């Protein structure tokens, strides 16, 4: 056939061209429309992806989502890099189990033992372990000297291996250490689109600071419906100042309550009562 095969603009996919020369001639006319459509496509991905929490947010024993913030309701086990919820930890102790409830390994006795265990996992390229070691350097824990550059290097490696937590930590590091919000947003965007609640909340906060309140509410509402308490409070404040509607706040409250309900279990309730007594 003598018919010319047209090719789409690879960015916006809206316009077809017969060749490179044709595309170059049309570039000035098409540029603004192309940018607008690309932004629309990016937003479509940003707001339609990441509505479910990732696998690492679920306890591997009871398989329920861990309440947020996870560090207050679960324990990271350096022996197997699993995050075990407080309920399953309580149930294991109740049965007389002294080791890890998941892999049965004896618990480390000292910071040196913890560090040795985590370094074994790091050598195996375990992304969760690498992220944990990065946080240890960032906070100067386990007898390590605080070293943010070492942390960033470890988080970069962990992120490349699939750690969503590491993406969030890289974003936080670029804000607190390097005053680079633009780069932080890129990391948080990647994490948020994979269901990371804190990163989604951070994106909402950034949009609110810019005065983009509609975009902020969209982000915060997604975080709320995955159990983000800080996001509920942000929408409440926005509602008080007329930056969000009462209907949006009501939707946020219901979404948050539904998300919290999904995290409840008898063992978690018992663990919470025990902690309250202590």
Reported as a single tens digit per residue, the pLDDT across 227-264 is 999 999 999 999 999 999 999 999 999 999 999 999 99
| For range 165-174, the mean pLDDT | 98
DSSP-assigned letter for residue 196:
-
**1 band by pLDDT with thresholds 50, 70 and 90:** very low
Is pLDDT larger for residue 29 or for residue 198?
A: 198
pLDDT digits (tens, 9 = 90+) for 22-49: 777 777 777 787 777 777 778 889 999 9
- CA 224 to chain CA centroid, Å, is 13
3-state class (DSSP) for residue 17? strand
Q: What is the mean pLDDT of the chain?
A: 93
Q: β-strands 16-17, 7-8: how paired?
A: antiparallel
Q: Is 228 exposed, middle or buried (0-12, 13-18, 19+ CB in 10 A)?
A: buried
DSSP-assigned letter for residue 72:
G
Strand partners, 83: 76
Residues 6 or more apart whose CB falls under 8 angstroms from that of 42 comprise none
> What integer pLDDT is reported at residue 31 of this predicted model?
73
Q: If you write DSSP's letter for every residue of 226-263 in order, what string do you get? A: TT-HHHHHHHHHHHHTTSS-HHHHHHHHHHHHHHHHHT
Lowest mean pLDDT among 21-25, 139-143, 199-203, 241-245: 21-25
pTM for the full predicted model: 0.88
- Rounded CA gap, 92 and 154, in Å? 32
Q: If you write DSSP's letter for every residue of 152-171 in order, what string do you get? A: HHHHHHHHHTT-HHHHHHHH
What's the full length of the chain, in residues?
A: 278
> What integer pLDDT is reported at residue 4 of this predicted model?
64
> What integer pLDDT is reported at residue 3 of this predicted model?
60
| For range 160-164, the mean pLDDT | 98
- Rounded CA gap, 141 and 218, in Å? 37
Residues 6 or more apart whose CB falls under 8 angstroms from that of 239 comprise 245, 246, 248, 249
């Amino acid at each position: 056939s003598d018919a010319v095969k047209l090719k789409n603009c690879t960015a916006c996919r809206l316009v077809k061209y017969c060749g490179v020369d044709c595309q170059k001639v049309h570039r000035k006319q098409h540029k603004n429309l192309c940018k607008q459509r690309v932004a629309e496509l990016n937003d479509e991905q940003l707001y339609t992806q990441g509505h479910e929490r990732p696998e690492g947010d679920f306890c591997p024993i009871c398989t329920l989502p861990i309440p947020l913030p996870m560090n207050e309701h679960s324990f990271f086990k350096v022996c197997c890099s699993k995050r075990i919820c407080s309920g399953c930890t309580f149930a294991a102790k109740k049965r007389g189990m002294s080791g890890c409830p998941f892999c049965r390994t004896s618990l480390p006795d000292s910071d040196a033992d913890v560090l040795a265990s985590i370094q074994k996992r790091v050598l195996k390229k375990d992304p969760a372990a690498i992220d944990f070691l990065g946080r240890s350097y960032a906070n100067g824990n386990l007898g390590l000297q605080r070293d943010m550059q070492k942390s960033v290097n470890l988080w970069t490696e962990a992120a490349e291996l699939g750690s969503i937590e590491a993406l969030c930590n890289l974003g936080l590091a670029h804000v607190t250490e390097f005053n680079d919000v633009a780069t932080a947003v890129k990391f948080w965007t990647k994490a948020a689109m994979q269901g990371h609640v804190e990163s989604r909340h951070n994106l909402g906060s950034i949009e609110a600071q810019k005065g983009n309140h509609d975009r902020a509410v969209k982000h915060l509402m997604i975080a709320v419906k995955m159990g983000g308490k800080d996001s509920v409070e942000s929408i409440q404040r926005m509602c008080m100042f007329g930056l969000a509607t009462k209907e949006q706040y009501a939707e946020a409250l219901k979404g948050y309550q539904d998300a919290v309900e999904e995290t409840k279990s008898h063992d978690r309730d018992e663990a919470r009562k025990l902690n309250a007594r202590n």
